[in-house]
Amino acid sequence: MILDEIREAYVKDLLTKGKRADGRGMLDYREIRIEKGIIANAEGSALASIGDTKVLAGIKFDIVEPFKDKPEEGTIVVNSEFSPVAHPEFSAGPPNEYSIELARVVDRGLRSAEVVDPKKLFIQEGKALGVFIDLYTLDNCGNLIDTAALAAMAALKCARVPKYDAEKQQLLREDFVGPLELARTVVTCSFEKIDGKTIIDASGEEEIASYGRVTIATCDGEMVCAAQKSGAAGFTADEIMGIIDVAIAKGNELRQKV
């Protein structure tokens, strides 16, 4: 589309001069805001914003049957839904490839870092707790992945585990045994490559001009726990190592927000 071509040309022209439209440095985030516990009927919830991008995360617990190869473990499931009001290209209906990618990247970071010990979700033979994290994109102005990861982690931080009634074999939604035990705090940092330059926390206009993205998930102790690449752009080994260094440093800053 002509308008997208104009935006792409504008972004690239600015980057050749070492500038971004909002005045940020190449490795600077927009303003980050997190509000926890905003959904009364959820066991945990949070609204995360990076700039004007907003993602709402809600957590519910349910009783599930463990997988046959892991009979004494519960499960964590991340789902993502794009609201049609969040972006002109979003439409109602089944999850598209971008929504699926978003859920998978957030899920991979949480699982790889073992944020929640699945063995501690076990109840009894044939029964375990399932932790369901639902992500709702309310406004997409770029960098959905990092925003969604913040929302999911913040919601987990304030999640309360409902009591299990062994006699009735059901969860008592109004009676809690305590907070969900978490081993680590995971965040993601996403980098876009535009005309050979790498920037962090791309705006919607910058994503239009991007040739490819790398997302690095880090957790406490400056550990890299997951990574995801999308798009056609290539990254050299030196570029990846530099990106990891920045992701660790920025990840420490993001964890303080959570």
Domain membership of residue 123 as a residue range: 30-257
User: Is residue 252 domain-resident?
Assistant: yes
User: Is residue 19 domain-resident?
Assistant: no
Q: How many domains does the chain have?
A: 1
User: Is residue 1 domain-resident?
Assistant: no
Looking at residue 5, what is its pLDDT? 77
Looking at residue 90, what is its pLDDT? 55
Task: Give the mean pLDDT per block of 10 residues along the chain (258 residues).
Answer: 74 84 92 95 96 96 92 93 61 65 94 94 92 94 96 97 87 90 96 92 91 94 89 90 95 93
User: Is residue 18 domain-resident?
Assistant: no
C-alpha separations of 176 from 160, 163, 170, 179, 192 in Å: 6, 5, 13, 8, 42
Spatial contact of 181 and 120, defined as CB atoms under 8 Å apart? yes
Looking at residue 133, what is its pLDDT? 97
User: Is residue 11 domain-resident?
Assistant: no
Looking at residue 87, what is its pLDDT? 57
Domain at 186, CATH number:
3.30.230.70
User: Is residue 85 domain-resident?
Assistant: yes
User: Is residue 88 domain-resident?
Assistant: yes
State the sign of the Cα–Cα–Cα–Cα dihedral 95, 100, 102, 108: positive
